[in-house]
Amino acid sequence: MKPSLLPYLACISCKGQFHLHEGETQSRDNAEGREIISGLLTCKSCLNRYPITNGIPRLVDSRLSTSTDMNTGDRFGDAWKEFSRMDERYEQQFFDWLFPVDPHFLNDKVVLEAGVGKGRHAQIVADSGAKMVFGIDIGHAIDVAYENVGHMPKLHLIQSDIRRLPFNNIFDFAFSVGVLHHMDDPKAGFTSVVDCLKPDGSICIWVYGKENNWWITNMVSPVREAFTTKLPAKVLKLISTTLSVPVYTVSKAVAGPYAKVQNKNKWLPEMFYQAYLSYISNFDFTEVNHIVFDHLIAPVAYYIPRGDVLEWFQDAGFPNPVIRWHNKNSWTGFASHRQHEVETMNARLEVAKNSDSKAFVER
């Protein structure tokens, strides 16, 4: 933990300020001067205490989080340990997920990533000119993130639950990619993130969509819930590696080339799940394996209709969010209290639609 994190933290029970007791520290040749490896954070108001271990403040209390969310954190912690590598292709994928948000939008903003995983997106945001980035995760994925990006100067990592965020209203921008649909109560998770925004802050989320995913909800989810989510990570990795062979082959050898032909010959029918399979045809085998593994390990996965995503935003005080169908199987939602930001995003979406970019079709 960097010493400069302290004033930004708030108690997860009462939002009070913390007193920091430093244990082990290591000197650092940067503006911070040292890294706090172990210690204790004591709330000045309610006196609750939370440890700092292995360089990370552990602001999770199992009495305040649901057992389902805690279990999800455990499972994804295992997943990120198996797939901890960083890859330069993540940048393109990240901005595809967040589109119409672009790197320029992040400039000089104080940003929250809700569900940071192995830290791949927090790193990109920190490198894109954000003022500060705070990444939180409920499980031991946070240790993988710390290993990967904990050294970055503007980046802070905290173990915490999205439903119990250790912040007041300090963020210019918050985002969450592939997380809310894995929570016990996705809408409550969304609301909790919104509650940490500054009054003129903005938010972008990406979640699984219900539309076009009937085959997953009817055929894959029952197997995941009854069987694969309960398997040890190593065993599941063997299974996912095997299943990834046909997925990788079809995406690379069929979906990718066919989509190019179909794009120029609109009279040809779209093949099954074409938008998504052709999108992942650019990935290597390890990444496809990770996608398959990720789908099979999750204890909970909601596939959310567009109407529900819209309702989350509207109930949180954003009447006109920008909602985009991504790869015809998921939803990206953006909203801001600054009208000109919403107008900019809508304009970008319009340009993308007119350029006939398949990934950015609006439903």
Ligand X SMILES: C[S@@+](CC[C@H](N)C(=O)[O-])C[C@H]1O[C@@H](n2cnc3c(N)ncnc32)[C@H](O)[C@@H]1O
* CB of 162 or CB of 247, closer to ligand X: 162
Rounded to an integer, what distance in angstroms lies between the CA atom of residue 74 and that of residue 139? 5
Structure tokens at 264: 């120029």
What is the pairing mode between strands 197-208 and 171-177? Answer: parallel
**Taking CB under 6 A as the rule, does residue 333 contact ligand X?**
no
* CB of 63 or CB of 264, closer to ligand X: 63
* CB of 43 or CB of 141, closer to ligand X: 141
Given the rule CB under 6 A, which of 71-79, 222-230, 233-241, 323-331 is the region that contacts ligand X?
71-79
259: which residues sit within 8 A by CB, 6+ positions away?
Answer: 274, 275, 278, 281, 358
Rounded to 5°, the CA angle 228-236-187 comes to 50
* CB of 49 or CB of 85, closer to ligand X: 85
Question: Residue 232 Cβ, how far from ligand X at the closest point, in Å?
Answer: 17
**Taking CB under 6 A as the rule, does residue 178 contact ligand X?**
yes
**Taking CB under 6 A as the rule, does residue 177 contact ligand X?**
yes
Question: Residue 69 Cβ, how far from ligand X at the closest point, in Å?
Answer: 4
* CB of 43 or CB of 116, closer to ligand X: 116
- Quick one: which of 52, 179, 250, 335 contacts ligand X (CB under 6 A)? 179
Helix (H) or strand (E) holding 59: strand 56-59
**Taking CB under 6 A as the rule, does residue 162 contact ligand X?**
yes
Rounded to an integer, what distance in angstroms lies between the CA atom of residue 180 and that of residue 262? 34
Question: Residue 307 Cβ, how far from ligand X at the closest point, in Å?
Answer: 23
Question: Residue 249 Cβ, how far from ligand X at the closest point, in Å?
Answer: 24
Rounded to an integer, what distance in angstroms lies between the CA atom of residue 276 and that of residue 330? 10
Question: Residue 99 Cβ, how far from ligand X at the closest point, in Å?
Answer: 15
Helix (H) or strand (E) holding 183: none
Question: Residue 78 Cβ, how far from ligand X at the closest point, in Å?
Answer: 10
337: which residues sit within 8 A by CB, 6+ positions away?
Answer: 199, 200, 201, 202, 317, 318
CA nearest neighbour of 333 among 303, 355, 299, 307: 307
**Taking CB under 6 A as the rule, does residue 250 contact ligand X?**
no
**Edge-to-edge strand list for the sheet holding 322-326:** 18-22, 39-43, 49-53, 56-59, 155-160, 132-137, 110-114, 171-177, 197-208, 330-336, 322-326
Q: Kindly identify the residues of this chain, within the stretch 288-307, that bind ligand X according to CB under 6 A.
A: 294
Question: Residue 222 Cβ, how far from ligand X at the closest point, in Å?
Answer: 20
- Quick one: which of 78, 143, 161, 172 contacts ligand X (CB under 6 A)? 161
Given the rule CB under 6 A, which of 23-31, 172-180, 310-318, 339-347 is the region that contacts ligand X?
172-180
* CB of 170 or CB of 271, closer to ligand X: 170
Rounded to an integer, what distance in angstroms lies between the CA atom of residue 108 and that of residue 243? 43
**Taking CB under 6 A as the rule, does residue 72 contact ligand X?**
yes
**Hey, which residues does 209 pair with through a beta bridge?**
304
Give the count of residues interacting with ligand X (CB under 6 A).
23
Q: Which SS3 state, helix, strand or coil, does residue 258 take?
A: helix
**Hey, which residues does 110 pair with through a beta bridge?**
132
Q: Kindly identify the residues of this chain, within the stretch 107-146, that bind ligand X according to CB under 6 A.
A: 115, 117, 120-121, 136-139, 141
**Taking CB under 6 A as the rule, does residue 182 contact ligand X?**
yes
CB 23 within 8 Å of CB 39:
yes
Rounded to an integer, what distance in angstroms lies between the CA atom of residue 346 and that of residue 210? 23
**Taking CB under 6 A as the rule, does residue 186 contact ligand X?**
no
* CB of 205 or CB of 277, closer to ligand X: 205
Q: Kindly identify the residues of this chain, within the stretch 78-97, that bind ligand X according to CB under 6 A.
A: 80
**Taking CB under 6 A as the rule, does residue 279 contact ligand X?**
no
Binding site for ligand X (CB under 6 A): 69, 72-73, 76, 80, 115, 117, 120-121, 136-139, 141, 161-163, 177-179, 182-183, 294
